[in-house]
């Protein structure tokens, strides 16, 4: 790391001591690649992006892989091992790939982080080692956290294998595990060496995990890009049919919006008290938790987006026509716009998602801030939420659901 010169501060305001300011100058970039069939011997993307050009010795490497992926594609383990054998002059696989359960179970608590760091320690991975994490957003969150803390950080290559991980969860700078009954309560910001989005993995996804990432695309289109919303609206039928060309375009456009926000938005490590991209997420996180994670993140976000779109209409940020377009398009993709967890109450009769609102405020650690569309494709921030409108929204979505079943 290059450290630029520090500075003595001799300001009169510091009359009781001297202050030496430590300044860092550490630009960083990483590639996010879109490709197909990464472990095919003829595909050189991984070697080109993960290994340094002037690399002389082979890099000690380990692979963590998602069990859900292997279950659907049992041959993928052999293929990966053959690829590493073929590339052994660049990457030395120090042990066979380590399989972790897929889904939220892998990041619920410390157990798998302990397993991960123990495996890295047993294989004598040193601080220059490289971890290839292959799987859904949950596995990548756990593996990314383990990579960030082992030897204070080893090189991390993420290979996201769900739609949601490719267009959101697996491409950025965050990782985390759930603890104290809170999502992502423990985690770090940690920059990957490279991210490789391999569309080949999408073919084995169950429908819910195939379409889940489209909820994040709606989220970002509604607050950032009206033409992207139109694209989603025009293609909802094809998305429901699992059209390859359309889903690949959705992933790319959604990923680029996220990456631009992280790299150019002025707050890469989220020091501010808002979460500018988290439209629809305050309720989504609570819905996921209440469902015991039987409901995926994407499905919960779809419900959260529908609920917040209703709110945006009620306070005249969007028109009724816009609300109808949003709800129709989300639903037509095969995503839910209603969940019974919206109505779940605690022992005192208070709606659980109202408790979720308080948890969201605590997580922000400052002023309550919500992101909302201000017309489709434009963003605004609100600091108060009228829960009576949220209740009306719950009844509205429930009525819609009943009329469609």
What is the contact surface with ligand NAD in residues (CB under 6 A)? 66-69, 72, 102-104, 107, 135-139, 141, 161-162, 164-165, 168-169, 172, 174-175, 183, 201, 204-205, 209, 212, 296-298
Q: Which is nearer to ligand NAD, 72 or 242 (CB)?
A: 72
Closer residue to ligand NAD in complex, CB, 69/147? 69
Which is closer to ligand NAD, CB of 69 or CB of 342? 69
* Shortest Å distance, C-beta 167 to ligand NAD: 10
> Measured from the CB of residue 293, what is the shortest distance to ligand NAD in angstroms?
8
The residue among 202 and 351 lying less far from ligand NAD, judged by its C-beta, is 202
C-beta of 285 vs 331, nearer to ligand NAD: 285
Residue by residue, what is the 3-state secondary structure of the chain?
A: CCCCCCEEECCHHHCCCCEEECCCCCCCCCCEEEECCCCCCCCCHHHHHHCCCCCCCCEEEEEEEEHHHHHHCCCHHHHHHHHHHHCCCCEEECCCCEEECCCHHHHECCHHHHHHHHHHHHCCCCCCCEEEEEECHHHHHHHHHHHHHHHHCCEEEEEECCHHHHHHHCCCCECCEEECCEEEEECCECCCCEEEEEHHHHHHCCHHHHHHHHHHHHHHHHHHCHHHHHHHHHCHHHHHCCCHHHHHHHHHHHHHHHHHHHHHCCCCCCCCCCCCCCCCHHHHHHHHHHCCCCCCHHHHHHHHHHHHHHHHHHCCCCCHHHHHHHHHHHHHCCCCCCCHHHHCECCCCCEHHHHHHHHHHHHHCCCCCEEEECCCCCEEEECCCCHHHHHHHHHHHHHHHHHHC
| Minimum distance, C-beta of residue 316 to ligand NAD, in the bound complex (Å) | 30
CB of 265 to ligand NAD, least distance (A): 14
Nearer Cβ to ligand NAD (129/212):
212
Q: Which is nearer to ligand NAD, 104 or 233 (CB)?
A: 104
CB of 73 to ligand NAD, least distance (A): 7
Q: Which is nearer to ligand NAD, 83 or 310 (CB)?
A: 83
Nearest approach, Cβ of 272 to ligand NAD (angstroms)? 16
| Closest separation in Å from C-beta 153 to ligand NAD | 16
Q: How far is the CB of 68 from ligand NAD (least distance, A)?
A: 2
């Amino acid at each position: 790391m290059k450290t630029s010169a520090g500075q003595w501060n001799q300001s009169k305001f510091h009359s009781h001591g001297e202050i030496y300011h430590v300044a860092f100058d550490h630009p960083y970039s990483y590639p996010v690649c879109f490709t197909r069939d990464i472990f095919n011997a003829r595909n050189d993307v991984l070697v080109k992006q993960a290994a340094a050009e002037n690399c002389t010795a082979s890099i000690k490497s380990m692979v963590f892989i998602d069990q859900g992926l292997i279950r659907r594609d049992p041959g993928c383990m052999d293929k990966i091992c053959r690829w590493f054998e073929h590339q052994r002059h660049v990457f030395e696989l120090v042990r066979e790939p380590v399989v972790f359960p897929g889904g939220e179970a892998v990041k619920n608590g410390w157990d798998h982080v302990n397993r991960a760091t123990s495996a890295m320690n047993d294989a004598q991975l040193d601080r220059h080692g490289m971890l290839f994490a292959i799987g859904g957003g949950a596995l990548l969150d756990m593996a990314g956290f383990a990579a960030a803390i082992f030897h204070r950080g080893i090189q991390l290559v993420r290979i996201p294998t769900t739609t949601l991980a490719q267009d959101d969860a697996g491409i950025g700078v965050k990782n985390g595990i759930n603890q104290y009954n809170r999502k992502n309560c423990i985690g770090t910001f940690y920059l990957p060496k490279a991210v490789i989005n391999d569309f080949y993995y999408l073919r084995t996804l169950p429908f819910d995990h195939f379409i889940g990432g489209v909820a994040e695309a709606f989220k970002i289109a509604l607050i950032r890009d009206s033409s992207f919303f139109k694209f989603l609206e025009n293609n909802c039928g094809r998305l429901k049919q699992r059209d390859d060309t359309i889903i690949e375009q959705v992933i790319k456009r959604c990923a680029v919006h996220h990456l631009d926000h992280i790299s150019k938005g002025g707050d890469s490590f989220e020091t501010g008290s808002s979460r500018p991209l988290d439209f629809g997420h305050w309720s989504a996180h609570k819905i996921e938790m209440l469902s015991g994670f039987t409901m995926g993140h994407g499905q919960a976000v779809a419900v959260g987006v529908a609920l917040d779109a209703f709110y945006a209409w009620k306070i005249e940020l969007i028109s009724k026509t816009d609300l109808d377009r949003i709800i129709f398009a989300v639903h037509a993709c095969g995503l839910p716009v209603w969940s019974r967890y919206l109505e779940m109450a605690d022992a005192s009769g208070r709606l659980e998602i109202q408790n979720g609102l308080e948890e969201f405020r605590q997580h922000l650690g400052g002023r309550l801030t919500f992101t909302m569309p201000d017309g489709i494709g434009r963003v605004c921030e609100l600091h108060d939420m009228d829960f009576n409108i949220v209740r009306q929204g719950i009844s509205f979505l429930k009525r819609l659901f009943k009329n469609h079943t």
